[in-house]
Structures are given as C-alpha cells and as structure tokens.
Chain A
C-alpha cells in the first residue's frame, strides 16, 4: 500500500502561510505608506499641532468647527462645491457630445477623427502648470486674446481672474477644458464597446432616429462609463489645485480659495498642521463618499445584473 507522507503542517495552515507570504509585503507597504499616515492625519486633525512645535494640545473638533464656521473655511468648502457643481455636469455633457461626434466622424473618416481626438486630448497630456501660464496670458485684462476678441465683436471684456464674482467661474471653465479630453476618451471607449447588433435591433424595432436611438441604446449602454466618468471628474474637481495656485493664489480676497489650496496654505505656508489635517479629512470624506456611491450604484444599477 502506498503511504501518503503526512506534511509537517496541516494543509490549511500551509495554504494560509503561502497566502500570507504572497500578500504580506504589499499589505505591509500599504499599511506603512497609506494607512498609517492617514491615521496620523486623522489624529492630528484633533490637535493644534504646528510643524516644528515641540508639543501640542488636544482640541477635539475645534479645527472642524473652525473650517465650517470661520468665513475663510466656509468659503473654501463652498467654493470647492461650486467649482465641482459647474465642472462635473458641463464636462460630462460636453465630453459626451464631443465623443459622439468623434465616434460618428470615425465611421466615415478615421484620420479626421484622430485629429479631433488628439486635439481634445492635448490638455490632458500637457502639464497643467505650463497650460496655466498660457491661460494667464489669454485672460489678461488688457493684453489677453480673449478680451481683444470680445472687444472686436463689441462685447466688453472682463477681468476674468481678478473679478471676485467671476474668478471661480473662470477657473471652472478652465477645469472643464482640462477634463473634457480625458472624459471624451473614456466615452469613446464606451461607445466603441456598444454591440452593433443593439443599434440594428433598435433600428428594426423602430427606434431609428437620433433621439430614440440615444435613449434606447446609447445612454443605457454607456451607464457604467458615465458613472466612472462622473466619479473621476468629481474627484478631480474636488482636488482642484494647480490652476488656483498658479493663476489666483486663492484670491482675490479668498474668492477662489478651494479646499486643497487652503490645505496647502494652512499647512505649508502657515505650518498649521492640525488645521490642514482637518481639511484633508473633509476632502477625504468627500472622495470616500463618492467612491461608495460608485460601488453601491455601479453594482446595482448600471451593469444590469
């Protein structure tokens, strides 16, 4: 009779050890590099710690209270939401339209479609800081091309970046310009993956004109893509920073102050680590909520299971 050699460890333990050896290092690195700092930030947000200080005091929720009651704090939160409220819908609608246009063009001329695609994608590929300089020149109140053109057609120019009422909208417009290309590429991929047969079935069923086609096939089939684009755009607009830092520095008079810029200012200019941590936590909660929304909605609704 053949004898089966008993392993030194029971099979289950052996497997568990193997698994641990495989996932262990990555998990450890993640713990050290992401989880621990996150917890530290969370802890700091309840203190009045300043960089370089030897001691700190526990001050409970005071940092949060300040953020949501202090005028500058409230401004930053409001501005961020306002910015996102413009960028998310505008960028999504615009990029969907552009994607459908390019997709349409691609069906009769590939080269033409590629040129469109590349030019819309350019802002994504270029460094935003460099692009911001270009925008600064374009939007200059007296020398900028935008106002010169507006003057020529008889509409008075604006002080795009220094008017308190206008500055945030201007930044949002730049934000839309910046995200449309990326979203368009995502939508294009989504459009390309819609089975041709569905359009044909719709055509036979009588949904053959643009509007019916869109509502019967295109829009529902883009569900997963749309959700993904929305989450990506929202995350990107919540953490708007480069344009603010290079074009307005949060000004004039905090009119374009946003969460991440405030975090940077408080943390790295005023060294108020505790307060900056609180801002970070609020930002984190926004993004986390979005991710949860994606998970919950995505699994239920858009994959049609």
Chain B
C-alpha cells in the first residue's frame, strides 16, 4: 500500500502541491488525472523518490520512505519521454536495472565480467529474464537496436520492459501514451490493462486525458491547482462529481451548465421550473446536465433552436440555442433522422441524472431534481 499523507511541495514562493493525501491499495490501478500544471508529475516524482516534499510523508507498505532515495524504494517508472539510454541497445536498456541491483561493481566492469564466473552466471540469468519480458511485450526482434532506431510505440514498450524486468513494488507511469497517435494509444491502453491484470502489480498512472483515466482505473484522483478535488471510482466521478469543475472535466462530451435561481426547493431557469427533492439554502444553483442524458423531445414545449448538427456515424450531437442565447449540447443516439438546422425543438432530460451545484462555491448540493413543473416556453 502506498500512502501520501498531507504532502505539500513548494518551489520557492509558489506552492505546487497543497495538502495531498492519497491511499493506493496494493494491486490497484490508480490514475492521477488533471489539467496541465496541476501537479500530477510532481506528485509522481515524490512517490518515486525523485523529489522530496516540503512537508508531509510518503509511506510504502507501512514504512516511512519520505527521505529514502529512489533506488531504495524499488519503484519502477516510465517517463513521458521514455528516457531510454541512447547509447545502449534495447537489450542493454532492459538489462541495466537488473545489473545495477544484482551485480557489484566488479561484476559490472566491462572486461572483468567476462572472466568472473559469478558475473557470467548472473549475466546469463539476466539475459533469460530480459528475453522473457521482450517476448511478453513482443519486442524480441528489436533487442539489438538502438533507441534512435525505434518508433514511438516501440520505445514505449522498451520503457515498459525496463520497468517490468525487475519486479518492483509499483509502476509509476507519467503520461506514457501521450506521444503516440490516437490508434496506437487505444491499442496500448488495452495492453496496459492486460498487463495490469497479468502482473497484479500496483499501477499509478498520470494522464490529462479523462477517457484514458475512466477506461483504465480502479481509482481516479482529480488534481486541480495542486489539490485533489475528488477521488473515487470512475463511476463515482461520473455520477456524483463533487464540484462543477470535476463535472466539466469528466465525460466525453462537455457537460451543460444551466444557471437557475432558487427559492426553497423551486428552481427557475431557461429550461423551465423544476422542483428539488429537498430545499436548499443558496440563492442560485447551477444544474449540470450531460449531453448524453438529454433528448430532443416533441412532448415538451418548444424551447430551443437547432444551430448545428455534427454526425459521427454511431451517434450525432446537436447544438441548440435557448431563448436566453445559451448553447446546449445534446447527444442523439438515434441517427436515422437528424433534426434540421434552424428548426425549433423541445428539450428534456433524465431528471434523476442531473447534478445540482451551488452557483457561488461550485460545490455539489446533495439534492435531486424531482420533477419538472413547467417547461420554458409555457412560462
């Protein structure tokens, strides 16, 4: 189990991480998700031992390793830039961590290693391990190449190989797929999931791509400006986002936010008048409705005008403008008949799947939209 306890990291005057606490269970796949500059890499480097926190502690299996050097933590890391040693061939790159751990200086010395029986024995042993890893990653035919002769995807596999070869406590991966093209990224994503299943190791994965995070993780921690705003399963994050920002970050389609005024439990806004299941104390709320739970409907009164329709094959999205000028996105599951651009439409949504946020603080309010009393055009 890897635990971060109240980690704070400052560079000079700027605070990059503020009170980060996170527990990563053994064997889990945990993703640190956040926009660029939110402090994900810094957190990962602190776990790896490449950086020390200003305050707070890092625990690995109950031991405080905050001050321990990286090599003593037995953690493997795959860098975004792969960081392969350019002067070594693939075999050398994958063997290095083994040689560093299992051999002494004499056994590693360039000429001596051919003479020492212990070195020969170990080298033989390492070669077998390297080859079995290479077979698993399907890079056997590349073992004699230099990193400069590899494609991005192949480099990525070699970097994985270097991490896998030494049976570490955990794998840290810093945006390992971000340099690959979309198709290869999808494929590698699948392979990483398989790899995680097969090895049963702890994976800590950094990405800014929410789709990657959602599809791979057991646990996601969302980083924003150096704090974890929410952690939970992908399902939790999608269904119960803790803040407006999380709701906006998660999901394939950007969520629609509808500003409404509220009195007790009655909400008035551009989509109509709704009743909440409990009264709230704030004056304004924002209702978040994902495009995929909205529908164009002929039953409700007309309240939007279709401005744009985008067709993707399996689905389509429509952008509608409301009477107050706000744009709303709707995912159309049924692509057999698409609405005309310029036509007027009614809008409805699954009430129970709408999220209610305090307009001022952006925090989630623990209430549900219970009923629609009146839709907009009828007002």
Binding site for B on A (CB under 8 A): 195, 197-198, 200-208, 211-212, 216-217, 220-221, 223, 304-305
**A206-B97 in contact (CB<8A):** yes
**B87-A206 in contact (CB<8A):** no
- Which of B73-81, B225-233, B234-242, B270-278 binds A? B73-81
Which residues of B, 234-282, contact A by the 8 Å Cβ criterion?
none
Q: Say yes or no: A220-B87 contact (C-beta < 8 A), given A204-B75, A206-B100.
A: yes
Residue from A204, A220, A304, A305 in contact with B71 in the complex, judged by beta carbons closer than 8 Å: A204
Which residues of B, 41-80, contact A by the 8 Å Cβ criterion?
45, 48-50, 69-71, 75-77, 79
**B70-A204 in contact (CB<8A):** yes
Q: How far is the CA of A205 from the CA of B97 in the complex (A)?
A: 5
**B100-A201 in contact (CB<8A):** no
Give B163's nearest chain A residue, CB to CB: A204
For residue B204, give the distance in angstroms from its CB to the closest CB of chain A.
Answer: 14
Q: Say yes or no: A197-B79 contact (C-beta < 8 A), given A203-B50, A216-B85, A304-B146.
A: yes
For residue B74, give the distance in angstroms from its CB to the closest CB of chain A.
Answer: 9
Q: How far is the CA of A59 from the CA of B276 in the complex (A)?
A: 112
**B83-A197 in contact (CB<8A):** yes
Q: Does B198 contact A (CB under 8 A)?
A: no
Q: How far is the CA of A197 from the CA of B45 in the complex (A)?
A: 11
Q: How many A-B residue pairs have CB under 8 A?
A: 68
Q: Does B183 contact A (CB under 8 A)?
A: no
**B71-A208 in contact (CB<8A):** yes
**A201-B79 in contact (CB<8A):** yes
**B100-A305 in contact (CB<8A):** no
**A203-B70 in contact (CB<8A):** yes
Contacts of A208 in B (CB 8 A): 69-71
**B96-A207 in contact (CB<8A):** yes
Q: Does B37 contact A (CB under 8 A)?
A: no
**A206-B105 in contact (CB<8A):** no
Q: How far is the CA of A212 from the CA of B105 in the complex (A)?
A: 9
Give B101's nearest chain A residue, CB to CB: A206
Q: Does B186 contact A (CB under 8 A)?
A: no
The 6 sampled A-B contact pairs (Cβ below 8 Å) are: A198-B85, A204-B71, A204-B75, A205-B97, A207-B71, A212-B100
Q: How far is the CA of A221 from the CA of B83 in the complex (A)?
A: 12
Which residues of B, 294-308, contact A by the 8 Å Cβ criterion?
none
Contacts of B147 in A (CB 8 A): 304
Most chain B CB within a 10 A radius of its CB, from A195, A197, A216, A305: A197
For residue A117, give the distance in angstroms from its CB to the closest CB of chain B.
Answer: 24
**B79-A211 in contact (CB<8A):** no
Residue from A203, A221, A304 in contact with B69 in the complex, judged by beta carbons closer than 8 Å: A203
Contacts of B69 in A (CB 8 A): 203, 208
Q: How far is the CA of A197 from the CA of B162 in the complex (A)?
A: 14
Contacts of A223 in B (CB 8 A): 87
Give B100's nearest chain A residue, CB to CB: A206
Give A305's nearest chain B residue, CB to CB: B148
Q: Say yes or no: A304-B86 contact (C-beta < 8 A), given A203-B50, A208-B69.
A: yes
**A204-B87 in contact (CB<8A):** no
**A205-B146 in contact (CB<8A):** no
**A204-B148 in contact (CB<8A):** no
**A200-B50 in contact (CB<8A):** yes
Give A219's nearest chain B residue, CB to CB: B87
Which residues of B, 186-221, contact A by the 8 Å Cβ criterion?
none
For residue A191, give the distance in angstroms from its CB to the closest CB of chain B.
Answer: 16
Q: How far is the CA of A201 from the CA of B86 in the complex (A)?
A: 12
Contacts of A195 in B (CB 8 A): 81, 83
Q: Say yes or no: A204-B105 contact (C-beta < 8 A), given A216-B96, A305-B148.
A: no
**B77-A204 in contact (CB<8A):** yes
For residue B10, give the distance in angstroms from its CB to the closest CB of chain A.
Answer: 17
For residue A88, give the distance in angstroms from its CB to the closest CB of chain B.
Answer: 23
**A211-B85 in contact (CB<8A):** no
Give B76's nearest chain A residue, CB to CB: A204
For residue A220, give the distance in angstroms from its CB to the closest CB of chain B.
Answer: 4
**A198-B83 in contact (CB<8A):** yes
**B85-A220 in contact (CB<8A):** yes
**B87-A304 in contact (CB<8A):** yes
Contacts of A203 in B (CB 8 A): 49-50, 69-71
Residue from A198, A200, A205 in contact with B100 in the complex, judged by beta carbons closer than 8 Å: A205
Q: How far is the CA of A195 from the CA of B81 in the complex (A)?
A: 10
Q: How far is the CA of A216 from the CA of B148 in the complex (A)?
A: 17
Most chain A CB within a 10 A radius of its CB, from B49, B71, B81: B71
Residue from A204, A216, A221 in contact with B50 in the complex, judged by beta carbons closer than 8 Å: A204
**B81-A197 in contact (CB<8A):** yes
Contacts of B70 in A (CB 8 A): 200, 203-204, 208
Contacts of B96 in A (CB 8 A): 205, 207, 216
Contacts of B149 in A (CB 8 A): 305
Give B165's nearest chain A residue, CB to CB: A205
For residue B168, give the distance in angstroms from its CB to the closest CB of chain A.
Answer: 9
- With A206-B97, A304-B87 already in contact, 17 other A-B pairs whose C-beta atoms are closer than 8 Å: A198-B85, A200-B70, A204-B49, A204-B76, A204-B77, A204-B97, A205-B96, A205-B97, A205-B100, A205-B162, A206-B100, A207-B96, A208-B69, A208-B71, A216-B85, A304-B86, A305-B148
**A207-B105 in contact (CB<8A):** no
**B85-A305 in contact (CB<8A):** no
Contacts of A221 in B (CB 8 A): 86-87
Q: How far is the CA of A207 from the CA of B162 in the complex (A)?
A: 14
Contacts of B71 in A (CB 8 A): 203-208
Q: How far is the CA of A183 from the CA of B349 in the complex (A)?
A: 71
**A211-B146 in contact (CB<8A):** no
Nearest 5 pairs of A and B residues by beta carbon: A206-B100, A220-B87, A201-B83, A197-B83, A205-B97
